[in-house]
Amino acid sequence: MSEESAAHENAGTDFKPITSQDDLNRIIADRVSRERGKFADYDDLKAKAGKFDQVEAEKLTETQRLQAQLDELSGKAEKAQRENARLAAIAAEGIPAEYQDLVHGETPEEFTASAKKAKELLAKVAAAEGKSGVSYRVNLDGDGSENLALNGSGIEDALKKKLGIS
């Protein structure tokens, strides 16, 4: 026999078989106390882990709140930029205040095109109103002035001529 095998045999002789319930209870109690020693801070670790999870949840909630706030402010900024572009197009084309609601779109190019169309429409309406076909001004002197003569038959002649009555 070698020395190693002799050492194994001697180590094996230290084993004592369990012969009573008291021996078994003592061995189990020793084993449990050794295991508890390994996990003595388990409750502390469990409490710390719970606290960490709570902080992470609060951080996530805070992050979500900040993200929602960022989205809201970004939306307001985009709306302000669109309104600024719309007002710039209105000012560039000289659209009167009562017709500014005719200018619409989403991009500066769309606002500019819409403002140009509104300006053209207003110019057409103004031109149509200016060419009513009936003039209420009568030039009595025949010299192109707008001053009316207070005497003479020029008024009567001008009215007959305008009305087509000879």
Q: What is the pLDDT of residues 83-124, one digit of tens each?
A: 999 999 999 988 888 888 889 899 999 999 999 999 998 888
Residue 156 counted as domain residue: no
Residue 135 counted as domain residue: no
Domain, as residue range, for 125: 22-129
Yes or no: say if 60 and 85 are a contact pair by the CB < 8 Å rule: no
Q: What is the pLDDT of residues 122-137, one digit of tens each?
A: 888 888 776 544 444 5
Handedness of CA 98, 99, 105, 111 (dihedral sign): negative
Tell whether the model's pLDDT for residue 79 goes beyond 90.
Answer: yes
Q: Long-range contacts for 83-91 (Cβ within 8 Å, ≥24 apart)?
A: 85/111, 86/111, 89/114, 89/115, 90/115
Tell whether the model's pLDDT for residue 2 goes beyond 80.
Answer: no
Residue 14 counted as domain residue: no
Tell whether the model's pLDDT for residue 27 goes beyond 80.
Answer: yes
Count each helix (H run) and each strand (E run) in the chain, helices first: 5, 0
Number of domains forming the structure of the chain: 1
Query: What is the Cα–Cα distance from 105 to 118, expressed in whole angstroms?
Result: 13
Rounded mean pLDDT of 143-166?
A: 67
User: Residue 144 has what pLDDT?
Assistant: 56
What's the whole-model pTM score?
0.43
Residue 144 counted as domain residue: no
Region of poorest pLDDT, from 31-40, 69-78, 79-88: 31-40
Alpha-helix residue ranges (DSSP H) falling in 94-135: 108-130
| Helix, coil or strand: residue 163 | helix
Residue 50 counted as domain residue: yes
Query: What is the Cα–Cα distance from 144 to 156, expressed in whole angstroms?
Result: 17
Instruction: Kindly report the backbone phi and psi dihedral angles of residue 157, in degrees, each rounded to the nearest multiple of 5, phi listed first.
Output: -65, -40
